[in-house]
């Protein structure tokens, strides 16, 4: 089944404890992206990657890191999480993003992160 998976789905942690949220897609998509969703603020892009070893900042990159060493994986790293990073996080992927008008993004199930 074609899908985007994220792990963990739920995570409660404490301020300053490094964590990684994994994202994997099995559709051979070139483009992958991370978003956070907060009440009243909507979906905001954190980082995106156009291909292996190619990443760029989105609208809210502060406090986050990413890497794209393999095409299928795009982990999100919080080196020193803070309470303002408590949010719902979505990973997404797309086959041709940026090259065609009609390409679309496929979203993972989401990771609900709480930083105490």
CB of 8 to another protein, least distance (A): 15
User: Rule CB under 8 A: is residue 12 a binding residue for another protein?
Assistant: no
> How many whole angstroms separate alpha carbon 30 and alpha carbon 42?
25
> How many whole angstroms separate alpha carbon 80 and alpha carbon 78?
6
Q: Which of residues 47-76 bind another protein (CB under 8 A)?
A: 48, 50, 56, 58-59
Q: Of 18 and 96, which CB lies nearer to another protein in the complex structure?
A: 96
> How many whole angstroms separate alpha carbon 50 and alpha carbon 24?
15
Which listed residue (81, 97, 113, 115) binds another protein by CB under 8 A? 97
What burial class does residue 12 get, using C-beta atoms within 10 Å of its C-beta: 0-12 exposed, 13-18 middle, 19+ buried?
A: exposed
Binding residues for another protein (CB under 8 A)? 31, 33, 35, 40-45, 48, 50, 56, 58-59, 90, 97-98, 101-102, 104-105, 107-110
């Amino acid at each position: 089944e074609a899908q985007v998976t994220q792990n963990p789905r739920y995570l409660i942690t404490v301020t300053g404890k490094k964590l990684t949220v994994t994202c994997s897609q099995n559709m051979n998509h070139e483009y992958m992206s991370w978003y956070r969703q907060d009440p009243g603020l909507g979906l905001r892009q954190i980082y995106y990657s156009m291909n292996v070893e190619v990443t760029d900042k989105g609208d809210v990159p502060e406090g986050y890191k990413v890497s794209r060493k393999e095409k299928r994986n795009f982990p999100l790293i919080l080196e020193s999480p803070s309470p303002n990073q408590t949010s719902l996080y979505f990973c997404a992927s797309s086959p041709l993003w940026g090259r065609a008008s009609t390409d679309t993004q496929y979203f993972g199930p989401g990771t609900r992160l709480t930083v105490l």
